[in-house]
Chain A
């Protein structure tokens, strides 16, 4: 299954280049290129070979870690991606930590007394936030935090890698982390809340209550574990959306991660770089999803995949 999906992704990413209108040589050499030069380049790129042969050449290069050299910047696509990837991973990690750390306690609090005033406030609030796309969150955050309160947010030049100065790095990660965490928080909170409410009505919870086990212990030990399956499942599905949200956040705050690189590549028509990023990100998302499925199986052994 996994191999099948990765294969389809690779074919899809490979074929992207052929979606370009007209001849790619025109794209590279500009409209004024002479036909003989175009023909030379056409041969150089191996475009005269049949499509499946091109794919094999391409995929064998990819498997050796060679994603090609950008026509625009003349740098290796793989090294560009390698430089940007850690930023995305850090952003995702931080935002997920924040989202889980806020969603889990709040959902437990809400589920303890469903329809209580606290639950009503949390539920209404999370429902409202659900309708605010992450790019609006970030624009409004920038508006209020940076413009109104006068707190500067960092530009591309002031971005500092984690291993150079981790304090400054974390400072520059503050806004993007919050913006991404809000979107995830809302989803996790709502899923966990409704699942906890359902779980708390089960008989084994009544049993635990009748044994006089404390509320806190019931929540964490008895109710959270079965409910966390839905949470993990949602988190796995959420990753793709999170990445795309991260792209926009990076672009808006000038953080040189994959998203920022991707948008620049799109604007500069740097097609090989776009292709490389799409391939790496898609395979990454699929792998993360499979890891989540694996973890879910450990948490809840009752689920055996069909």
Chain B
């Protein structure tokens, strides 16, 4: 099944619902008016107005007590008609179902899935026929034996009869559902095997509801430039995009709203990637699969400048911006500003347009989001606008571009240190893992909040700046005017290896001696007034802080403090480490898990969705039974259900053109002529036009049907989630189910009430 949840858009749904109901109401009123004129002649309008007024008056005078009385009567009727006998069938299925399900699969997670599927399926399919039968026969039977006549000669409004019937049958069905659900829950708990086997045996509790958070996704190509998709390995129906092994190619997921209260004190990642090999390899490597690696990245500079260098003319400057060397970037832009006047061909029109787009869509918005650099953002904005003025057939725009570029360089130089401080780049590569070609279940990894990793130059500089400045602020760095004797111990306590701590102490001592650092009032300051980060960054890049520990600078990053951005975004990159191999992935293939919910939570939501489905079937059945007799109503409701459950998606695909094929007449013609869709039917142009007109009218009807027939698969999606061990998401499963039910309930009640009101119960 496809786990690609899309949150239900209530506003858009409401708008389309109002439009559709408005159209239906208009059609109904037009038919009513026409009928009135046909039956009453010239006085039809008066008759129509009188009927409509009376109808609206009845709708407004509905009494909940009478509805409740009618609903109670309905429940009693269902019970005394032996509807509860369904429990006998249910009990029999439960008694013997276990025989066939236990040990039906070697994998415990699939066994659980089978049991849950079995339970939810029998619950649905046992109650469904009862719901259809009762709802379709209730009112027609009342009319046949005329018990309804006695009711409507009391003050009961006919709309109350309709609502009471719907409510009563729904209450009945939901009561049965609840009872079966409770029994089913106990049965599932007892039936699933105690012995856990399979790949993920020790990694997750089988009866829990995982709560996934899906991110947005994009790819980086082998140059590290962002792309919307990865490589295609030759699959014409490409679902997954592939990243190339041993290159800068990555799949990048961005997760929003990441916070400790949702995730707890760890990061749990689940994925299911597709391994694609270009060489066979050894038996061992075939079994082990491909090596993949997650990297957690907090890279504000990448977010801001990744597209800046798409055009070759600005590539070097973009590299400097991305690496954090803003002074160098300023120098390069200054140089570029001069060359724009002397050699504008180095900055072709296309490059200028690309950099203008990058400035407008990425650089400026990101800098404004960071918020501390309005001058830099303004300079980039001006630069982008100047680049936009460059035209393909004239060099006039380069003068303005050069000026803007020089201004930008000046602003960058002025803010270089601040930019470097506020726009960090921290990359924490996590432990590589294997992606098997034929793997069971998902790959699951759990990482602690405090992550230890081998730092690169920048990370080391940032870490040391943070630790040393922290000690300095606490007054622990100095003892008088000398470094404190406990400094090595304090650094070690911050997670620095002892040999590296000694190195730091030694370098600091040298810097004090060289008067690059000044001791004042028990605090150490950088002599030139610079920042600690710049100070340590220079030391690291001068290679004076090369790790004395063979493992390198093992640093500690806090998941939420260091890797999640201030606006709650976590960036996770996936790379394939094996050369000449490819790793395929799509958006739903990777998710992070929030705190798990109890199985009961997801199970209850699945039952709620089933209850809504049954209630909607009842609503449709009762509505149909207000118009036609029991058997017709039964087949009508059943047909609507079957189409809605199994063919609604197909209808939408046909209408959207996703499902290829011709129109009905054209298809028939091609079948008759033994021709395929690529060549089409062999007919004259005139006939083709007629045929297409007919087909278009059929498509129009199909469009109407797709809007009028409810999508019952909305309800069954919830079961699929818990069958696969997920919690049922509110926004993409429960909410659409509720919206679908309510969306059909309201018009159905109105239609049913109108049909019952304007029909002669005693008509012969």
State yes or no: do A and B come from one complex: no
